[in-house]
Amino acid sequence: MKQLFKLLDYFFVLRPTLFYPVWTVFLAGFFVQSKYGMAATNSATNHQFLGTNGIEFIWVGLFLTLLMGAVFILNQIMDRKTDDKNQKLFLIAHGHLTPKAAFIESAALIAIAVIFAFIFSIKMGILFLGILILTGWLYSFEPFKFKDRPLMGLVANGLGAFLIFFGGWIIKGSLTQDSVIYSIPYVCSVAAVYLLTTLPDVEGDASTQKLTFGVKFGVKTTVYFALILEVVALVLSYRSNDELIFYPALFSLPFFIWASVTLKMTEVLRAVKYSILLLTFTICIKWVITYSNTAFSFKYAYFFLLVGIYFLSKIYYKIRFGLTYPNLSV
């Protein structure tokens, strides 16, 4: 049994729980374009390859998942010393997977994802390359290493959210002023969460000369700035009448406010976890409503996927390492 779970290291090094925000922002782009955007006049999609059943977004989402999983591996390879200090993400940091094996897995996934994207359409291929360059190369590797630069790390995460949102949008649309306007609340919300995630690891990051936003500006400034971004997301989503981000931002706001009042790490973590949960839950409801007339298995497919990943992760980490992860406790 343990040997079987050891093989699962190659799956869980992809950090599948981080797929939740990726899927959420991607699906938001697809759903928002379907409601507010104009259909693309000339689709470059290879429908002979994908079929014409209207669920091309599943193919794109699948290969976007492979691409982002590969990016998460690259980030862990480059961050293994810091992760060791912070006692997290230890599959590579503690030698359960060698950097060489992890890099080979990442390279294979990148090749598969990018090739698919260009088969889907030229613009999707270019977008995948842009995501890879920004979140993979510029974010993790020298001489840029945006993840270790406070402002560039913030910009990279926000821009990465826009590109992922745009990936959902261009399946049936094209880059327009609307696509940028509707993406901004999601960018702000993702950026707000990113800022808070830099705080729990401040001590370990500082000891390895990793200059994140939290290390540079401290707890108070980071939490306040995250709160401002969350308020901006709420206001802009209200003005654009986008309920997919408005309600999650509205119900997440008290957690950000309380974190800014107490400045306690437990409340910071609560704001991170619950804001992601609320947005994920909202997109899940949107999926069910959108496909209410389809078969039961497809209508609740996204819900089953989310629940399946969550409980599979809990079983894996418990049996493999004796850890209770993931969880919603703080």
Is the backbone peptide bond immediately before 248 cis, with ω within 30 degrees of 0?
Answer: no
Distance CA 4, CA 10 (A): 11
CB-based contact 72:210 (threshold 8 Å): no
Residue of higher predicted confidence among 56 and 105: 105
CA 88, chain centre distance (Å): 18
Average pLDDT over the chain, rounded to an integer = 91
Distance CA 125, CA 104 (A): 21
Could you tell me the pLDDT band of residue 37, with boundaries at 50, 70 and 90?
confident
- Structure confidence by residue, pLDDT tens digits, 270-292: 999 999 999 999 999 999 999 99
pLDDT at 29: 97
Give the mean model confidence (pLDDT) for residues 194-198. Answer: 96
Residue 257: CB partners within 8 Å, gap ≥ 6? Answer: 227
On the question of pLDDT at 201 being above 90, the answer is no
pTM of the model: 0.93
Short-list 192, 167, 190, CA closest to 179: 167
On the question of pLDDT at 42 being above 50, the answer is no
Rounding to the nearest 10 degrees, give the CA dihedral for residues 32, 35, 36, 38: 110
Look up the CATH architecture of domain 2-321.
Orthogonal Bundle (1.10)
- Structure confidence by residue, pLDDT tens digits, 48-96: 444 445 678 999 999 999 999 999 999 999 988 877 776 777 799 888 8
Retrieve residue 216's tokens: 């540079």
Could you tell me the pLDDT band of residue 39, with boundaries at 50, 70 and 90?
low
Residue 6: CB partners within 8 Å, gap ≥ 6? Answer: 96, 320
Domain segments of the chain as ranges: 2-321
Residue of higher predicted confidence among 248 and 329: 248
Burial state string for 169-184 with b = 16 or more CB within 10 A and e = fewer than 16: bbbbbbeeebbeebbb
